[in-house]
Amino acid sequence: MAKLQIKDYQEIVANMLVDAGIILTESEKEKIEIADFGLNDLETTGLQLITYINNERYCAKDLVLFPKQTCPEHCHPPREDGSPGKLETFRCRKGTVYLYVEGQAKEQPLVSPPDKDKEYYTVFNEVVLHEGEQYTIPENTKHWFQAGSEGAIISEFSSNSDDASDVFTDPRIIRIPK
């Protein structure tokens, strides 16, 4: 992704956050991460995020999804040092979030994964989050999520975040670009 494209997306994300009443400092605006997971189809499969704090004990982020954008299936397994994987709570701030986790699959899910990548989505226990609702995802639980037609903003409160230890179902995904 070209630098100009990243800057353009960062501005769109900052404006989405402002529209939701979430104000960023200039420094935070520059730190908005645009993650296309190496698939080069950001507006279909990707995630935009700003990390406010991430230390050895806890992490706080805002996740921004464009309309119908999907964050691909992944889990947060125990870490190499033996510590548990990430435990995270998603709180929907704006829009609607369709979250899929391990458990009893819904027969007719309200949304579906991107057509070209369907084979990499295996969990369909549906949790729909509307503004003000939240859900806690246990560590080492496969999950994926998609925004409704208006996009969505999720505040994530979690244990320490270590992106390098995330495991994606799709082997093509590159979480941390080189």
Q: What is the pLDDT of residues 122-154, one digit of tens each?
A: 999 999 999 999 999 999 999 999 999 999 999
- Res 1 pLDDT > 70: no
Its domain, for residue 105, covers: 3-168
The two structure tokens encoding residue 147: 């925004």
CA atoms within 13 A on the CB side of 78: 5
Q: Which CATH number is 44's domain given?
A: 2.60.120.10
The pLDDT, as a whole number, for residue 110 is 97
The pLDDT, as a whole number, for residue 4 is 65
pTM of the model: 0.95
Paired strand residues for 173? none
- Res 116 pLDDT > 70: yes
Model confidence band, residue 176 (pLDDT cutoffs 50, 70, 90): confident
Number of domains in the chain: 1
Residue 72: inside a domain, yes or no? yes
- Within 8 A by CB and 6+ apart from 2, the residues are none
Residue 174: inside a domain, yes or no? no
**Average pLDDT value for the chain:** 95
Residue showing tokens 């994926």: 144
Residue 175: inside a domain, yes or no? no
Residue showing tokens 């929907």: 92
CA atoms within 13 A on the CB side of 28: 17
